DNA sequence: TTCGTCCTGGTA
DNA sequence: TACCAGGACGAA
């Protein structure tokens, strides 16, 4: 599932391949992926636009266009944005191909998404996207120990896991990196934030940052469909401590990793390293 | 704050 | 054949 390390890995891979290129006659195989404006306006509006640069906020990928417009892409759970040459039979996503963006540098951008949770927007210069506007500071680009402390002070009754999944709190974390971060911090997913000591808040901050850094260094996590800009999987799944390791031994203490459901999401933790306290 | 919904491939 | 995975959003 694309979270911040996966989305950022895709962005870094795509940037040198797409920057300064012109989009030529995009094709939309699944119009439902376009959330704004209409599918027709989307393809017409992109045609001929130059990709001036790339960006990311939380799990949203941003392509800054020459006219001041922005192409916004959310990969959902299974989306992949792969750049390559049309002659490569491995590319294109097969039957799950949702959109194709041919570029004038002979490269083509393929958007495939088996479960159709991915979304596309084309924003005019003067338009803002509600969901982008509501995003909290990015965990990687903007979070600081002081900021986390301040934000937690306003949410003392929240449970840790649902709060960390809330993109309006701080953005970029999803189910995998929340579970892994809480394990590293030695904190139970259902701990109330108001019960955290200053030392635990600091541990949490460092755990999230270190987990994200390692995820980035490994090129992301590929438990299912995630692929980078060149269609290759990441390696972080081999380094996971708790996620999807139910029944296996904790590498630190030997206790059996448990699975429960928190905030409607499969949640993994070590009952010994992460006491409910 | 929590739950249901969207969606389909993979698994039991 | 039924159910589960889950990011984001809207309803309760």
Digit-coded pLDDT (tens) for A36-76: 888 899 999 999 999 999 999 999 999 999 989 999 999 98
Using the CB atom, is residue A263 less than 7 Å from strand C? Answer: no
Which positions in strand C are less than 7 Å from the protein's CB atoms?
Answer: 4-9
- What pLDDT is attached to residue A87? 56
* Per-residue pLDDT at A252 exceeds 90: yes
Q: CA–C1' distance A242–C4 (Å)? A: 19
Mean pLDDT of A111-120: 88
Residue A23: pLDDT band by 50, 70, 90 thresholds?
very high
Residue A91 has pLDDT above 60, yes or no: no
Query: Does A116 participate in catalysis according to the annotation?
Result: no
Mark whether A265 is an active-site residue: yes
Q: Is residue A133 very low, low, confident or very high in pLDDT (cuts 50, 70, 90)?
A: confident
Q: Which nucleotide is nearest to A157 (CA to C1')?
A: B1
What mean pLDDT do residues A16-36 have? 92
At residue A273, the pLDDT reads: 94
A25 is an active site residue: no
Question: Stretch A84-90: mean pLDDT, rounded?
Answer: 62
| A159 neighbors A262 (Cβ within 8 angstroms) | yes
* pLDDT tops 70 at residue A14: yes
pLDDT tens per residue across span A205-250: 999 999 999 999 988 888 767 888 888 888 888 889 999 888 889 9
- Please compute the mean of the pLDDT values over residues A25-31 and round it to a whole number: 91
> Residue A165: which nucleotide is closest by CA–C1'?
C7
Q: A86 pLDDT band (50/70/90 cuts)?
A: low
Strand C–CB A165 distance below 7 A: yes
pLDDT digits (tens, 9 = 90+) for A149-164: 999 998 888 899 999 9
* Nearest to A182, CA basis, from A123, A240, A101, A117: A240
Nucleic strand C within 7 A of Cβ A134: yes
The spacing between the Cα labelled CA in A77 and the C1' in B9, in angstroms, equals 12
A126 is catalytic: no
pLDDT at A61: 92
Task: State chain A's mean pLDDT as an integer.
Answer: 89
- Closest residue to B4 (CA, C1′): A264
Q: Which of A166, A168, A154, A7 is nearest to A76 (CA)?
A: A7
């Amino acid at each position: 599932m694309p979270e911040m390390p996966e989305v950022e890995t895709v962005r870094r891979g795509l940037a040198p391949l797409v920057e300064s290129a012109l989009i030529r006659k995009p094709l939309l195989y699944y119009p439902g992926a376009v959330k704004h404006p209409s599918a027709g306006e989307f393809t017409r509006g992109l045609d001929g636009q130059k990709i001036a640069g790339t960006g990311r906020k939380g799990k949203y990928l941003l392509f800054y266009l020459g006219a001041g417009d922005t192409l916004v892409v959310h990969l959902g759970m299974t989306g992949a944005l792969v750049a390559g040459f049309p002659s490569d039979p491995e590319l294109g996503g097969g039957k799950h191909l949702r959109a194709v963006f041919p570029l004038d540098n002979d490269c083509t951008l393929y958007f495939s998404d088996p479960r159709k949770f991915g979304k596309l927007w084309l924003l005019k210069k003067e338009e803002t996207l509600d969901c982008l506007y509501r995003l909290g500071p990015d965990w990687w680009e903007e979070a600081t120990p002081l900021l986390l402390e301040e934000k937690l002070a306003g949410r003392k009754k929240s449970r840790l896991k649902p709060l960390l999944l809330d993109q309006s709190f701080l953005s970029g974390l999803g189910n995998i990196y929340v579970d892994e971060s809480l394990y590293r911090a030695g904190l139970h997913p259902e701990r109330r934030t108001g019960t955290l000591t200053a030392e635990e808040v600091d541990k949490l901050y460092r755990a999230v940052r270190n987990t994200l850094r390692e995820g980035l260094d490994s090129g992301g996590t590929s438990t299912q469909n995630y692929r980078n800009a060149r269609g290759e999987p990441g390696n972080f799944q081999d380094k996971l401590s708790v996620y999807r390791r139910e029944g296996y031994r904790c590498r630190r203490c030997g206790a059996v990793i448990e699975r429960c459901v928190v905030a409607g999401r499969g949640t993994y933790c070590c009952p010994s390293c992460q006491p409910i306290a």
